[in-house]
């Protein structure tokens, strides 16, 4: 029997299969688990391949730090989704795995924009091919999606896994077909031998564990069953008086057998094409011969555009719910750079928790926004429709790629640097805004540094003095100095 199992495994290795599994949602510990494993032996067991731009600490870890900084950490029992894409067969390149992750996130997180959620993904390529129980270890990808969004300053809504089961099947089939992977009709890992199952079943702690054990047992011994009855008889013989009765589905959309164990109040259902008299033989042969069985799965028969269309039907409810729930948050998102939570998150990504620096950035952003609003109200700039505020590396820019406008505000220490390649109109607008900030006590005149053409600087300082009521005082001082010079 062992020889036959190994033969099946060797056959499977030649054709890559993918399954999707959901681990339990957790509060923290993702980065530690990925780095160390459950027994601190990650480095011995696996090769780690980062598949996202930021590492775990700068993505999932940074959001956790943000929640603690905002005082929201104790508010939630869990913080992120943990999804595993597992592969059985030849190794995939890093580029191919990154494509698969991108496709999965785009389809699974369809209700959100890319900037609205923080995620991290890495692949584990086994160095040790078989574990201590004799189970084959497979290449797999861990994807973590944080439930809190710094951009929306809200906790994201995820529909439950069972509710999205049909949608997830479409996602799996879409990725398999798009990337040329081999179709598989099971999402279960096939590894346990009959002896492992029989021994473990005596000390099983939960119905879920028992169900998983039996499914693994059946798939590991599938080559021994010639008929559906052979499989049922073997289950009865193996588990003996632990089973009270077995019932079979009638006219069910998804075939199943219902097994009542004496140790549990309710029976366990085993669903799928393998658990029906009508489809057992072809499902068994397809698995053993490693032949695609797409005819059993209507979703797999669809073209990629048809799959996307079917997904959209199932995603409609969640899309509407997300639009309704985050309507206000998304209006706030339109002024993303006014979002203090987002800016603090960007600081935490750099391991910098300087809230004072964030407040300075917020000031710069308000300055630039005021610039635009005032320019619009005075109609001083005729090409404002294409003007935008850009935030990058603690520098805030007002820019229009098609016109000659490029204003940049930077803060170095207590100094506010205003740089511009604009003309007289921009200089005057900048001066009017800065004057209001000085009057409000948000800015000191002596902290200003203006850079640009001499004509721009001259126009800026002249308008600023005018707005601060210092123009007459300057003229009087100038006249006094001229008069004093004449007297001398």
pLDDT for 32 = 92
Mean per-residue pLDDT, 194-198: 38
Lowest-pLDDT range of 74-83, 276-285, 292-301: 292-301
The token pair that represents 354 in the structure block: 């300087």
Tokens 């588990």 belong to 239
Phi then psi for residue 469, to 5 deg, are 75, 20
Using one digit for the tens of pLDDT, what is the confidence trace for 100-134?
A: 999 999 999 999 999 899 999 999 999 888 777 66
Bridge partners of residue 448, in order along the sequence = 416
Of 250, 255, 265, 200, the closest CA to residue 231 belongs to 255
Using one digit for the tens of pLDDT, what is the confidence trace for 432-461?
A: 878 887 887 877 888 788 877 888 888 888
50 pLDDT above the threshold of 80: yes
Lowest-pLDDT range of 81-85, 89-93, 122-126: 89-93
Q: Is residue 10 part of a domain?
A: no
148 pLDDT above the threshold of 90: yes
Q: Is residue 443 part of a domain?
A: yes
pLDDT for 47 = 93
Domain tally, the chain: 1
Strands (DSSP E) contained in 340-482 are 388-392, 395-400, 405-412, 415-420, 448-452
DSSP 9: H
Q: Is residue 428 part of a domain?
A: yes
pLDDT for 22 = 85
167 pLDDT above the threshold of 90: no
Positive or negative, the Cα torsion across 330, 331, 334, 340?
negative
pLDDT for 58 = 92
Cα-based distances in Å from 394 to 346, 353, 399, 443: 10, 14, 16, 18
CA 141 – CA 102 distance, rounded (Å): 12
358 pLDDT above the threshold of 50: yes
179 pLDDT above the threshold of 50: yes
CA 148 – CA 414 distance, rounded (Å): 34
Q: Is residue 271 part of a domain?
A: no
Tokens 């564990």 belong to 209
Q: Are 30 and 144 in contact (CB under 8 A)?
A: yes
DSSP 182: B
Q: Is residue 238 part of a domain?
A: no
Lowest-pLDDT range of 8-12, 89-93, 277-281, 464-468: 8-12
CA 120 – CA 58 distance, rounded (Å): 9
pLDDT above 70 covers a percentage of the chain that reads 74
pLDDT for 430 = 80
Q: Is residue 56 part of a domain?
A: no
pLDDT for 4 = 37
369 pLDDT above the threshold of 50: yes
DSSP 63-110: HHHHHHHHT-GGG-S--EEEEEEEEESSPPPHHHHHHHHHHHHHHHTT
CA 85 – CA 241 distance, rounded (Å): 37
Q: What is the pLDDT of the chain when averaged over all its residues?
A: 78
Mean per-residue pLDDT, 388-408: 64
pLDDT for 124 = 93
pLDDT for 322 = 93
Q: Are 146 and 62 in contact (CB under 8 A)?
A: no
Lowest-pLDDT range of 46-50, 390-394, 449-453: 390-394
3 state DSSP class of 152: coil
Q: Is residue 45 part of a domain?
A: no
Using one digit for the tens of pLDDT, what is the confidence trace for 316-339?
A: 989 999 999 999 888 877 665 557
Q: Is residue 434 part of a domain?
A: yes
Sheet with strand 405-412: strands edge to edge: 388-392, 395-400, 405-412, 415-420, 448-452
Q: Are 246 and 257 in contact (CB under 8 A)?
A: yes
pLDDT for 297 = 63
**pLDDT band at residue 403 under the 50/70/90 scheme:** low
The token pair that represents 50 in the structure block: 């980062």
Q: Which domain holds residue 373?
A: 354-480
pLDDT for 387 = 66
């Amino acid at each position: 029997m062992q020889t036959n199992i190994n033969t099946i495994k060797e056959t499977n290795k030649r054709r890559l299969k993918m399954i999707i599994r959901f681990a339990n949602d957790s509060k923290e510990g993702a980065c530690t688990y990925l780095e160390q494993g459950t027994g601190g032996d990650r480095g011995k067991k696996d090769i780690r391949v980062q598949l996202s731009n930021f590492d775990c600490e700068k993505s999932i870890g940074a959001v956790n730090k943000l929640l603690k900084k905002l005082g929201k950490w104790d508010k939630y029992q869990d913080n992120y989704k943990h999804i595993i894409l597992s592969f059985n067969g030849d190794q995939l390149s890093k580029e191919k795995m990154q494509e698969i992750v991108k496709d999965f996130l785009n389809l699974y997180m369809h209700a959100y924009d890319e900037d609205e959620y923080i995620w991290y993904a890495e692949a584990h390529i086994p160095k040790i091919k078989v574990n201590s129980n004799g189970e084959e270890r497979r290449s797999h990808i861990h994807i973590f999606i944080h439930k809190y969004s710094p951009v929306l300053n809200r906790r994201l809504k995820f529909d439950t896994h069972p509710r999205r089961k049909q949608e997830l099947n479409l996602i799996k089939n879409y990725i398999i077909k798009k990337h040329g992977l081999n179709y598989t009709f099971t999402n279960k890992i096939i590894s346990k031998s009959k002896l492992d199952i029989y021994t473990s079943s005596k000390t099983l702690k939960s119905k879920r564990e028992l169900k998983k054990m039996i499914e693994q047992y059946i798939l590991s011994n599938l080559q021994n069953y010639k008929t559906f009855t052979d499989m049922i008889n073997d289950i009865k013989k193996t588990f003996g008086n632990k089973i009270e009765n077995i019932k079979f589905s009638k006219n069910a959309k998804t075939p199943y057998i219902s097994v009542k164990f004496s140790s549990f109040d309710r029976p366990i259902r085993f669903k799928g094409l393998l658990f029906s008299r009508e489809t057992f033989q072809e499902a068994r042969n397809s698995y053993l011969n490693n032949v695609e069985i797409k005819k059993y799965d209507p979703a797999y028969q669809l073209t990629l555009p048809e799959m996307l269309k079917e997904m959209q039907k199932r995603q409609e409810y969640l899309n509407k719910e997300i639009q309704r729930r985050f309507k206000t948050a998304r209006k706030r998102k339109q002024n993303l750079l006014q979002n203090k939570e987002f800016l603090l998150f960007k600081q935490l990504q750099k391991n910098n928790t300087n809230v004072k620096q964030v407040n300075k950035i917020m000031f710069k952003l308000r300055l630039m926004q005021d610039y635009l609003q005032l320019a619009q109200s005075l109609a001083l700039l005729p090409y404002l429709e294409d003007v935008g505020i850009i935030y990058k590396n603690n520098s805030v820019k007002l820019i229009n790629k098609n016109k000659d406008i490029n204003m940049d505000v930077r803060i170095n220490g207590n100094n506010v640097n205003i740089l511009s390649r604009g003309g007289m109109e921009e200089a005057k607008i900048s001066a009017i805004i800065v004057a209001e900030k000085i009057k409000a006590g948000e800015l000191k005149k002596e902290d200003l540094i203006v850079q640009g053409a001499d004509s721009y600087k001259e126009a800026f300082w002249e308008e600023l003095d005018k707005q601060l009521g210092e123009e007459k005082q300057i003229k009087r001082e100038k006249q006094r100095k001229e008069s004093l010079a004449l007297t001398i």
